Amino acid sequence: MHPLLAVVVSYGGSTHLHRLLSALVAIRGSRVVLVENDTLGDCPVPDGVRVLEGQGNVGYGTAVNVAVRAELEDGSAPEWLLVVNSDVTIPADTADVLPKLLAWYPPSVDAVAFPFLATAGGPPARSRTVLPTPRTSAFIAVRGEAAAVARWPDLRYPVGAFFAIRVPTFLRMGGFDPSFWMYYEETDLFARLHAAAGRIAWADDEWPVVHLGGETVGRSGLLHAELGRAGALYARRHRASLGWAWPAVYAGQLVLLTARKLVTGHPHDALRAARILAGLLGGLVRPSWEPAVRSRWNAVPAAARHRLGRLPRQELAGG
C-alpha cells in the first residue's frame, strides 16, 4: 500500500522535472504519477513513475482527477494526495519528513499547506491567499494580498502549486471541477472545502518547497485572459455566496492595477492586468466561449474534460 499519491502535472516538461520526480519517488511510501498535457519529447522519466499522456491538454485540476481516477481504478487506496506543479523543487529535508509530517496530523485535518522558499532570483512565490469575496478583493486592491491574509486567516488557502489533501476528502468533494481549465481550480476546491467546514493545516516554515512559477506560461496573452475567464466561471459557480458584487469589485481591482502599473513604469504588468480584465469581461458576457481550444495550447473542451476528469464518488470511494 502507498499512503501517499503524488501527482505531478506537466506541459512539455520543465528544466528540472527529472529531479522533481526523482525526489518524489524516493519518498517512503509514495506512488508517483506524471500527467503530461502535451508531450514529454526527450525528457527522461525516472523508474517507478507512472506516466499518463494522450488525454490532451486538460489543464491542471482535471489532470489531477485523471491520475486519481486511474490509480483508484487499479486498486490503489492512498490516504493522502500530494498535488505538485512541474516547476516545484522539494528540498531534501522536506522530502524526508513528508510522510511522518502527514501521518502526524489528526483525522480532523483535511489538507496541508507548505511555505515557499525564496530563490536566487528574488523573493518566494506566493504560497497562500484568501478566498475571493467583495470585501477581500477590495481590501487587496488597497492594502495588498499579504495584509488580507493576515486579516482573514479563516479564509486562507494554499495556491495550487504544492499542497496535500486527504483522498477521502478529495473524493467526497468530487475532486477538482473539470469546468476550470486553467486557474481558479484550487480556489474553487478550497471554497467548497471551506463551505463544508473543512480544516487546513499549515506546515512550519522549516519544511518549505521552492516554486519558480510561470516557467511553462511566460508572457502568454491568452493565458492571462484565461485567468480572467476563470474568474468569471468562479463567480457563476459561487454566485450564491458571492452575489454579483464580487466580479464588479474584481474588475475595479484590475482597472486600478492596470493604472498603477502604467504610472509606475511597468508596462508589461499593466498589459497583463488589462488582459485579465478583458478575459473576465469576456467570460461574463460569453460564458460558453473557449478560445483556448483553438489556440496553440490546444485545450480540451469543457465537455470532454468532464468525461475525462469526473470522479464518480460512490464508485471510486467504494460506495
Residue 219's pLDDT is: 63
Per-residue CA distances from 112 to 44, 104, 128, 164, 187 (Å): 30, 11, 12, 5, 15
Report whether pLDDT(70) > 80.
yes
Question: What would the pLDDT profile of 227-244 be if each residue is shown by its tens digit?
Answer: 999 999 999 999 999 988
- Note the maximum CA span of the chain: 58
Q: Which three cell numbers stand for residue 254?
A: 484590475
Q: Which CATH number fits domain 4-217+300-316: 3.40.50.2300, 3.90.550.60, 3.90.1150.10, 3.30.360.10?
A: 3.90.550.60
- The DSSP letter of residue 86 is T
CB 99 within 8 A of CB 28: yes
Are 182 and 64 a contacting pair, CB within 8 Å? no
Tens of pLDDT along 141-188? 999 999 999 999 999 999 989 999 999 999 999 999 999 999 999 999
The ranges assigned to domains in the chain are 4-217+300-316, 221-296
Dist CA 59 CA 205 (whole Å): 30
